[in-house]
């Protein structure tokens, strides 16, 4: 990068290097996630990372304990992503409880 040039970082590209995370668009709960930057990196690494991890573990295990037969209520291909935003997410996630 020549001196004085602007650099614009594409935040959505974080954790999407297929050389490091094969099939990066696929939800793979068993993949080796070491080296991911979801909580940042270096001196500004997320201060709330342990809390966020604990909250997620408690929320998901409580949900699945309460609704062990929880399943998707629509065909996966009908799910719609929200228009581009800082935080990625679905417009809605219809589920069946039993
Ligand atoms: C899944 C949830 C979360 C994600 C994905 C996340 C992600 C991040 C990322 C990527 C950064 C680095 C920003 C940068 O380098 O400029 C950061 C910083 C930070 N996060 Fe989080 N965060 C989460 C939850 C939380 C929670 C629950 C708290 C507090 C209770 C928190 C507090 C902070 C603080 C204070 C910083 C700034 C650290 C610094 O600049 O030294 N975060 N977070």
Question: 47: pLDDT confidence band, cut at 50, 70 and 90?
Answer: very high
Return the residue whose CA atom lies nearest to atom 1 of ligand 1: 52
Quote the percentage of the chain above a pLDDT of 70. 99
The whole-angstrom separation of Cα 45 and Cα 34 is 15
- Which of 27, 38, 46 lies closest to 87 in space, CA to CA? 38
To test the pocket of ligand 1, the residue of 11, 48, 55, 60 to mutate (highest count of ligand atoms within 8 Å of its CB) is 48
The yes-or-no verdict on residue 87 having pLDDT over 80 is no
The CB of 47 under 6 Å from ligand 1? The reply is: yes
The CB of 54 under 6 Å from ligand 1? The reply is: no
DSSP E strand boundaries for 1-98: 71-72, 95-96
Helix (H) or strand (E) holding 59: helix 49-66
């Amino acid at each position: 990068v020549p001196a004085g040039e602007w650099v614009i970082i594409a935040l959505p590209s974080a954790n999407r290097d297929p050389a490091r995370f094969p099939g990066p668009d696929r939800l793979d709960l068993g993949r080796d996630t070491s080296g991911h930057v979801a909580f940042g990196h270096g001196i500004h690494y997320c201060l709330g990372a342990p809390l966020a991890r604990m909250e997620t573990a408690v929320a998901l295990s409580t949900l699945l304990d309460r609704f062990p037969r929880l399943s998707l209520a629509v065909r996966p291909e009908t799910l719609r992503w929200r228009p581009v935003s800082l935080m990625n997410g679905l417009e809605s996630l219809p589920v069946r409880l039993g």
